Structure 1
Amino acid sequence: MKAQSLEAYNTPYALRSVPVPTLNSSSQHSVLIKVDAASYCHTDAVLAAGQLPPFPPSFPHIGCHEFAGTVISTSPGSSLRAGDRIGVPGRALNACGTCFECAAGPTADDPDADEPGYSVSCLHAGNNGISAPGGFAEYAVVDERQVAPLPEGMGAVDAAVLMCAGVTIYAALKRCRLAPGQRVGILGCGGGLGHLGLQFAVAMGLRVLGVDNADGPLQLAREVVQGRERARIVDARIEDAADVVTQVGQEDSKLEKGEKGLDAVIILPESQKAFDYGMALLKNHGRCVVVSFPEKGFHVSAWDLVFRDISVIGSLVGSNKTLREMLQFSAKYGVRAHIRTFPLSKLNELVNEYHKGQGGKLVIDMSLQDEDC
């Protein structure tokens, strides 16, 4: 089969012919799929640059942890069948089923967790595209417990981007714990996660404020929310957070400083300025959900935590239960990413486009040939 692999940090991908992988004989959950679409994620760029130290890959390494495909064969007893169309998030490949994460199940703090026996936070699991081969290949071996069936009518290209970007921003919105009518801010609203988050938030009945600071992403964000009364896009280069809070307070007829602002914000960029802007948008007792993970971290004001009672929490991805819910939600409300597609042979061109920062998502469509581009 053909596969694109990294052979060292900070080098282009290399297109190689490699053996088709075989089912994991030690796992009753092993599934071989034909990859139909593979989406490029920010974490792919971080890994390729050698900035993901907890998960050093073994070179050569086949990346991509958000992809979709068709089942070819399974281990005995699997609930999946050849021909099933599935989406694959990279996390929790071969989860152990017995560590405290796998054994926990739903709790009051995490009601969306999977039932005991499997967890995306398994201490001993691998990750397709990070510690194990991923979707930048014609075939891949996955764990049936991590995958989700695709809704009727949803194509592989649309589904692939939802396997990380989609479930991550959907789960982050749920962790904001907001009711319809409350306000949420999405920092980095024109990026891959951000423009999906705008759509999810509006469909959830939230009033959403999208913030970005580059022309391409801002244009995409405005297109996504055009005609939506509950959504507003802010250019952080020309509007101060304090001015935005004042405007929001006037709209909500709030008089006191601490009660003006947003109920929650989600931080997507790896930028201290974006983090500070988001914190400044929050009303007292607001919630800041951090999705990004800059190498040097964020500086957090103790004043915000103590005197304003701001909660700061992290959010990585959602459970398999949340993944399936998100897919059905996307199908019901027509949530779709802005996507540009490339054939497998042009993965390096895709990466070059990614670094231009124009927003949306970039996807390898396995049905494309070079002449289709």
Structure 2
Amino acid sequence: MAQIEIPRTQKAAVLVNPGKGLEVISNHPVTQPSELKPGQCLVKMHCTGVCHTDVHIAAGEVPHGPVPLVGGHEGIGTIVALGPAEGGVVKVGTRVGVRWLCYACGKCELCRRGKEAACESRKLAGHLVDGTFCQYMVAWSDHVVPIPDNVSDEQAVPVLCAGLTVYAALKACNAVPGDWVVIPGAGGGLGHLAIQYAHALGLKVVAVDTGDDKKDICLDLGAEKWIDFKQTDDIVRDIVATCDGKGAHTALIVTASPRAYEDSVKYLRTAGSIAVIGIPGPFVWSIPVALILRKSLHIIGHLLGTYQETVEALELVAQKKVVGHVNHRKLEDINDVFKDITQANVVGRTVIRLQ
């Protein structure tokens, strides 16, 4: 194969001053093939998704790596170079996905127990190391995921964080076909994918959000019931009544609303599960211990998913059982995208083309 020419500089959206958004610059350095370490690869990025976590990082609300730091953590691209002595599943020319968890050691206790997202040596793209808001990114060969040939870049990229997170959370909650799952924030980036993954797993969905545009997309995607939280005077009552009068089996909370957490313990049936995904800022969740005991509730803090679950989540996209609703924006618009996400004005998922 002819040697691929790699530019010295690139366009990238970079965190320079936490709390002041990202700076889009045109001369950010590109790591050259000769500079790659064993286990690394250089990916020419095609596109990237934008996640609420990116907003928290840019705002300086969570600990992050040293600045300047390239943001973003879900991207699709083609491998253009490999570090020394590399081989295995991927090679130059392979189209791959880069996940938030871009490296895990595979050897610590957490990795051995299938909790690689909490690996003691983990590297998180756009969070602890440079991420996907760029044209060329350094990734780790054993952790990029080959993309099925019949899945487009735009359909694959939302799966690498949003889709994977909700798919793996549904599995972690041990939901079984026929169960009721409530999804607060159902019309957003994670929520609209969660509806489809739940439907593919045989679950019945109560979609909770607000606005006619979100109502239409949630029902079109297969939700059995829509509840507009701004138009009900008792959301707990409405959810319990919808779920056979007994309450839901699972609450998959993908919104950053404190109220969504407070309500969930009230509408869940006995032995119900709550998947904690959305991050409502400094909110502290107070739950009566007696209620947890009486209802035998399971509260699951969920962060991303495994490599295998990524493959499974992508396969459901390849089978056309999950189709992302995608909004196209430019990298220069990144701070406007952050504002739209913060104000819950985004239906579906935002994707940015990088080439």
Tell me if TM exceeds 0.5.
Answer: yes
2:303 to 305, 312, 316: 316
2:21 to 12, 21, 25: 12
1:162 aligns with 2:159: yes
State the match for 2:224 in structure 1.
231
SS of the equivalent of 1:307 reads: helix
Residues 100-111 of structure 1: pairs in structure 2 closer than 5 A: 100-102=109-111, 104-105=112-113
CA apart distance, 1:26: 7.8
CA apart distance, 1:347: 2.2
State the match for 2:316 in structure 1.
329
Residue deviations 1:322-361, cap 9 Å, x none? Answer: 1111100122134122111122233233333333312321
State the match for 1:139 in structure 2.
136
1:222 aligns with 2:216: yes
1:248 to 243, 246, 259: 243
Aligned-partner Cα distance in 2 for 1:44–1:195: 19
Residue type of the alignment partner of 1:73: A
1:2 to 11, 20, 24: 11
Aligned-partner Cα distance in 1 for 2:190–2:279: 14
Aligned-partner Cα distance in 1 for 2:81–2:177: 43
Change (3 A) 1:2 1:207: same
Aligned-partner Cα distance in 2 for 1:21–1:244: 52
Change (3 A) 1:221 1:321: farther
State the match for 2:67 in structure 1.
59
1:304 aligns with 2:298: no
SS of the equivalent of 1:312 reads: strand
Listed as ranges, the gaps of 5+ residues in structure 2 are: 1-9
1:47 aligns with 2:40: no
Aligned-partner Cα distance in 1 for 2:271–2:150: 42
CA apart distance, 1:7: 1.0
1:96 aligns with 2:111: no
Residue type of the alignment partner of 1:28: P
Mapped contact 2:21–2:59 kept (Cα < 8 A): no
CA apart distance, 1:23: 5.3
Mapped contact 1:354–1:362 kept (Cα < 8 A): no
State the match for 1:198 in structure 2.
195
Mapped contact 1:184–1:207 kept (Cα < 8 A): yes
Mapped contact 1:92–1:122 kept (Cα < 8 A): no
Change (3 A) 1:97 1:203: closer
Residues 243-282 of structure 1: pairs in structure 2 closer than 5 A: 243-249=238-244, 260-282=246-268
SS of the equivalent of 1:18 reads: strand
Name the TM-score, length of structure 2 as normaliser.
0.89
Residue type of the alignment partner of 2:274: C
Aligned-partner Cα distance in 1 for 2:284–2:168: 21
SS of the equivalent of 1:174 reads: helix
Mapped contact 1:187–1:278 kept (Cα < 8 A): no
CA apart distance, 1:365: 1.0
Residue type of the alignment partner of 1:182: D
Mapped contact 1:195–1:221 kept (Cα < 8 A): no
Aligned-partner Cα distance in 1 for 2:169–2:34: 33
SS of the equivalent of 1:137 reads: coil
Aligned-partner Cα distance in 2 for 1:328–1:194: 19
SS of the equivalent of 2:243 reads: helix
1:74 to 67, 71, 82: 82
Residues 180-195 of structure 1: pairs in structure 2 closer than 5 A: 180-195=177-192
Aligned-partner Cα distance in 2 for 1:23–1:232: 52
Aligned residues: 339
Change (3 A) 1:272 1:15: closer
Aligned-partner Cα distance in 1 for 2:342–2:279: 18
Residue type of the alignment partner of 2:91: R
Residue type of the alignment partner of 2:267: L
1:30 to 40, 43, 51: 40
Aligned-partner Cα distance in 1 for 2:106–2:221: 46
1:87 aligns with 2:59: no
Aligned-partner Cα distance in 1 for 2:37–2:70: 21
CA apart distance, 1:166: 0.8
**Identity between Structure 1 and Structure 2 (%):** 28
Q: Does 291-300 or 40-49 show the bigger shift?
A: 291-300
Name the TM-score, length of structure 1 as normaliser.
0.85
Mapped contact 2:196–2:221 kept (Cα < 8 A): no
CA apart distance, 1:27: 4.5
Aligned-partner Cα distance in 2 for 1:48–1:293: 15
CA apart distance, 1:312: 1.1
Residue deviations 1:207-259, cap 9 Å, x none? Answer: 111112x32xx62353243284x621111223321133124325xxxxxxxxx
